[in-house]
Structure 1
Amino acid sequence: MNNTAFLFPGIAKSKYEDFQEFIKGSKYAQDLYQEASDLLGFPLLQNFANGDKSVVTDRCAYFVNTLSLLNELDEAKKVNPKYVIGSSFGITTAAVYLGSLNFVNAIHMVRETAIVEDNYLKAMDQEYGTHFIYKYSLPELKDLIEEFNSKGKWMEISVYISDDLIGIGASIDTIDELKKIIKVRGKSTSIHTAELSHTSNLKDLRKQLDEKVYSQYHFSNLNSPFLSDLDGRIITSGSDLKNEMLKSVDNPVKFTLVHERLLRDQIRDIYVIGPSNFFGAILKKDFSVRNVDPSKLKSLFEKEV
């Protein structure tokens, strides 16, 4: 019985220092960075190492780093997962692993998507973000959101990671108000604020991405099933995976549905592939989690020899 799954998390801030030793010791990483640099027309690794904060460098480096980790895993231990999960930005990495996109098209798509999204977010009427809250009662949180909306201060749930961890989309000013309320009530913890994503006010961004980016690329059918974190369904066609990427722009992530599906299908082992993130901590209660990131790569393989 196949009881393994791969999870490619969404974008997370990562520093060159976290990857420096890994990149130096990984021929996969060096080769992919060189290929990416040739395709993009600029020295991606050099920019990443020099601390370039541009959204293109950030996302392209994250993408190359994650694929490099995947390649190292594949060489050290052949794993044939029952499901592959790509959350948010991780859908692109999953698409490459599943044979739906090749690296050449994917790296161009990552760059073009980053530019369109960055321009769109900068042109919005004010600065927005996604704020993550830990251990706040969901019914009470929904009441609080309704209270903000009744005052003309837009807010909505954009990410359901678990029953305890929720992402809220709102303006930065509104998020600041929310953080103060949370602190006073003392019922939960404000984790961090990230870029706005997965909210209904991004419908026009979804349309732009479709017209300017995704419509230019062909997605082949998948060589293994993909498990959606929007509705928990299984995806096997390339066109459905492309639509999943677009739907992810303005629809909330519901990772709770993924969690339920993995339990129902008796998945035991989950490989979380990418820089350190909160998914491992969320999943370890019910699954054996193997974090495939630079700090744990060597010890992970040593344990599995």
Structure 2
Amino acid sequence: MTTAIVFPGMGPSRFADAGRFMLLNPYARKRLAVADEVLGYRVAERFRESGADYSEFAQVAFLVNCLALADWAADAQGEEPSVCVGPSFGQKAATAYAGSLSYEDTLLMTAAMARCEEEYFREHHQDVVTHSFTRLPADRLAEALSELDERGEWYEFSGYLDDGFHLLSLREGRLDWFKKRISELGGYSMYSMRPPVHAKSFAGLRELVEREVLSRFTVAAPRIPLVADQDGTVLDSAEGVRTMLLDTFDRPIDWPAIVTSLDGLGVKKLLFSGADNLFRRLDRTKRAFEVVALSPKTAVAARR
């Protein structure tokens, strides 16, 4: 059976949810020790103290945990995925797992990208959020969007996740109205993200990261097929991986395209390596694949 490893996108990340795994699991402790040395600070302590869901320290900790879970799965469960994908933030772990960047360089890249994002959104798009919603068929979504158009409101798609399930970036001042319309049209609002993500208006962030961050690293071709999260392209070159890492800032996620690509590669099983309450639960995912979920909580429970 062909297995793909999926490093999930990052939701709100708190020390209380992952701290026990980070401090007790031997694979996590090994990864954490390297991170502490490379970055020059104690990642777990900064993560615990930061209190911010998407801080630099939360992002680094999420990366550490995703890769540590993959290590644990390989040794403890004999999992040997032959395809790799990382939607949204998961790109970073996927890039390291596929060998396009060393773990050390991926840590440095992740921290530097987080600082760039903080700098950029401190000065730009301060009134923009990315909102996720589901159970809204195309015709009803079109109705809500046409009303935004009539009001001259700005919005851009940030993700296509499943039938009736989308990410949309819009002005925060219109968010309450939009959530109300979603409900009136039979849909269901989930959560809103700040800073916002994956929209073409954030091209300035892409340029900043390309100039200030990726210019410092040499990206290699992946050792296994790596599926781009923007359109499902199967990457086999260094330039393709580099482009994917930049595309994340100004192109939306397309999970249906990823599913189609994985199916074309003969994948039957998805191993989710990292805390995920989204992609593994999508109807499209469950219909197409056997799903195995690994998270800090399940890894800790497995030791008991």
Q: TM-score range by the shorter chain?
A: over 0.9
**How far apart, in 2, do the equivalents of 1:266 and 1:225 lie?**
12
- Identify the residue that residue 19 of structure 1 maps to in structure 2: 18
- Identify the residue that residue 253 of structure 1 maps to in structure 2: 253
What letter corresponds to residue 156 of structure 2 in structure 1?
Answer: E
Q: Output the TM-score relative to the length of structure 2.
A: 0.92
Q: Output the TM-score relative to the length of structure 1.
A: 0.92
- In the TM superposition, 1:1-305 aligns within 5 A as 2-53=1-52, 55-183=55-183, 185-195=184-194, 196-282=196-282, 283-297=285-299
What letter corresponds to residue 286 of structure 1 in structure 2?
Answer: A
Question: In terms of mean alpha carbon deviation, does 188-197 or 141-150 score higher?
Answer: 141-150
The number of residue pairs the alignment matches comes to: 300
Query: Identity of paired residues, percent?
Result: 24
Taking a change above 3 Å as real, the CA distance of residues 9 and 144 of structure 1, as seen in their structure-2 partners, is same
User: Helix, strand or coil for the counterpart of 1:49?
Assistant: helix
**How far apart, in 2, do the equivalents of 1:136 and 1:43 lie?**
44
**How far apart, in 1, do the equivalents of 2:244 and 2:232 lie?**
11
What letter corresponds to residue 157 of structure 2 in structure 1?
Answer: I
**How far apart, in 2, do the equivalents of 1:29 and 1:134 lie?**
34
Question: In terms of mean alpha carbon deviation, does 70-79 or 86-95 score higher?
Answer: 70-79
**Mapped contact 1:126–1:171 kept (Cα < 8 A):** no
User: Helix, strand or coil for the counterpart of 1:88?
Assistant: coil
Residue by residue over 1:229-281, the C-alpha shift from the partner in whole angstroms, topping out at 9 and shown as x without a partner, is: 21121101122101011112111111111122333444221001111321111
Question: In terms of mean alpha carbon deviation, does 148-157 or 104-113 score higher?
Answer: 148-157
CA shift, 1:301, in A, is: 9.5
CA shift, 1:299, in A, is: 6.7
Taking a change above 3 Å as real, the CA distance of residues 71 and 125 of structure 1, as seen in their structure-2 partners, is closer
**Mapped contact 2:74–2:80 kept (Cα < 8 A):** no
**How far apart, in 2, do the equivalents of 1:299 and 1:236 lie?**
37
